[in-house]
Structure 1
C-alpha cells in the first residue's frame, strides 16, 4: 500500500550569541524595522486614528410652549409689534406689545414611541381694523427642549427661527393665514463626545440682561449668542403658503408652523476602543509583509553566518 505525506515541518536551528554582540544588535535592528515602519506608514497614510465619525439618531424633542413673534410694519407711527409667552419680556416691550395665543399638537407619525412632528398655531391680535398695519417682515421664535441619548447625553434648550416675508398684496385686514412646514435640524460647530453628558446649554436662550431697552426691540444679542454655540438647531422651511381669511372686526394674523424632527446624522469623536478597533486592523495589514521580509533576511544572515553566532543543530534521526 503506498504511503502519502500528510504533514511536515522544518528543522529548527538555534543561534546563540553574547548579549553584547553584533548578532544581538542586528536582531534588535531587524525588530525595530519590522514593527515601527508599518505603524508610521499606517498612521501617516491617513485614516489610522479616526478623529471624527457620525451616527444616526432620532432626537427627543418637546415643545416648551414658549414663543416670540416680531412683526415689522411699514407704518411710520408704529413700525413694529411684539408678542410672546414670556411675561418678563412682555413687560420690557410693553410699548409695542400685542396679544398672542398659542396652541399645539404633537404626533408620532411613524409610531416608534418618539414624537417627530409638532403642529403649532400662533394667533396674533392687532386690535380693531382702524389700526394701520402693513406687513413687511415676520419673525417667529419657537423654543424647544432638545435631547440626545445614543452617544453623549445632551440636554439643551433650542430654537426654531422662522423668518417670513408676506406677499405684496397681503393686507392684515383680511386676517391672513400662513402655513409653514419644515425640519428642525441640529447644527454642529464641533462633534459631540462619544460618552458622558453635557447640559451646558440647558438654560434659557432669552437672557433678560441684554433686554433693558424699551425704546426698540433689539434681540440681536440673543441671536448672536445662540448662533455661536457649539451646537444648536435651525429651522429649514420646505413649504410656505399665505392665504386670506374672513374679514372680521379685528385684525388677526394666524401662523401655522409644522415642525418635523426626523432622524439625522450626528458627528461625534470616537472613543478609544472604537479607534483601536479600526487602528490595529490597518497596522496588522501593513505589518504582515514586513514580518515576512525580515524573517527571510534574518534567516539568510544567520544561515550564512554573516554575524558570528554559535549554532545548535536540530536532532537527526538514525537510518534503520
Structure 2
C-alpha cells in the first residue's frame, strides 16, 4: 500500500494544578535547571579567575647599557705577588659615567637590531663590546641592557625591562659569547582592560644616585615589581686571544610567542561559565526527560492521557 499522508500523534498527560503529578513535574524542572550548575561549580574553574594567552611583545632598546668588568692584576711588592682587584665600568649614559668616574674605562659598544620577518617587531638585538684591558686579568663580566617593553592584545602594558648577564671568567677572557631569550615574568595576573598600564614604565637605573645603582639594591627594586623581564642565557668563554682586549658578544632574542597571564573580564567569564553549564544541561535534561517519560508512561503518578493531532484546514 502506498502512504498518501502522515502526521505525528501527540500523547498528552494532564493533571490538576495542585496534584502530586504537577508538583513532581515542577520538581524535575527545577532539578534540570539547578543540578547542572552545581555539577559544573563542583568541578572547579566554573568562574574563570585566571587565563593565559600568547603574544609577541614589541621590545625597543632604550640605548641604555651598563658594563662592569672585574679584574685582578698581579703586582709585585717587596718580593711578593699581590693581587690588585679593580672594576672597569662604562655606560652609554653620561650621568652614570660621571658617578663612576674613578672606575670609568672607555669601551667600544656597538648594537644592532634584527627583524627577521619584517613585521616591525624586533626579533633580536646584538651587542658587541670591546674593553681595552688585558684579558688574562678579567675575572668577571656583567652587562645590563634596558628596553621599552610593550604589549597590546588582551593586556595593555608599557614597562621598562632589563636583561642582565653575568659571566665568571676565573682564567681570563679574551672573548665572551652570551646568547639567550628575554622572557616575561609576572607575580600576579594582569587585568584585561583597554587602559594601558604604565606604573613600571621607568628605569630602575638611576643617573643621579650611585647608591641606587648598587646592584643588590637595584635588583631588589626591580624584583619588587609585578612585571619584569628575565634574560635566560647561556655563555661561552674563550680565555686566550691574540689581541690585548676583552670582547663581549651578546645576543638578546625576543620570543615570538610570549605567555601572559591575565584576569578575564565579566563577559569572558560568563561565556566560559555558560559553556560549562550548557555542556551539563543537555545530558542532565535528557536523563530527567527519560525518567519523566517512564513515570507517566507507566502511570506511576496518576494523570489523564489524551491523544492529539494537528487538524489540517
Q: Say yes or no: TM over 0.5.
A: yes
Q: What is the Cα deviation at residue 286 of structure 1?
A: 1.4
More strand by share: 2
Quote the residue 1:276 is aligned against: 270
Q: What is the Cα deviation at residue 30 of structure 1?
A: 2.8
Matched, 1:159 2:162: yes
Quote the residue 2:221 is aligned against: 225
Picking from 110, 113, 125, the partner of 2:120 is: 113
Q: CA RMSD in A?
A: 3.3
Larger deviation, residues 46-55 vs 61-70:
46-55
Is the contact made by 1:210 and 1:221 (CA closer than 8 Å) also made in structure 2?
no
C-alpha distance in structure 2 between counterparts of 1:6 and 1:245, whole Å = 97
C-alpha distance in structure 2 between counterparts of 1:300 and 1:117, whole Å = 68
Matched, 1:12 2:15: no
Quote the residue 1:95 is aligned against: 102
C-alpha distance in structure 2 between counterparts of 1:45 and 1:71, whole Å = 56
Quote the residue 1:124 is aligned against: 131
With the length of structure 2 as denominator, give the TM-score of the two structures. 0.80
C-alpha distance in structure 1 between counterparts of 2:104 and 2:254, whole Å = 31
Residue 92 to residue 297, structure 1, CA distance change in 2 (3 Å)? same
Q: Describe the SS at the equivalent of 1:292.
A: helix
C-alpha distance in structure 1 between counterparts of 2:59 and 2:308, whole Å = 76
Q: What is the Cα deviation at residue 62 of structure 1?
A: 1.1
Number of aligned residue pairs: give it. 299
Is the contact made by 1:83 and 1:100 (CA closer than 8 Å) also made in structure 2?
yes
C-alpha distance in structure 2 between counterparts of 1:289 and 1:102, whole Å = 67
With the length of structure 1 as denominator, give the TM-score of the two structures. 0.78
Picking from 256, 269, 272, the partner of 1:263 is: 256
Q: What is the Cα deviation at residue 280 of structure 1?
A: 2.2
**Deviations for 1:72-94, whole angstroms, at most 9, x for unmatched residues?**
22355443232212322323222
Structure 1 unmatched ranges of 5 or more? 171-175
C-alpha distance in structure 1 between counterparts of 2:310 and 2:97, whole Å = 102
Residue 40 to residue 177, structure 1, CA distance change in 2 (3 Å)? same
Picking from 28, 31, 56, the partner of 2:54 is: 56
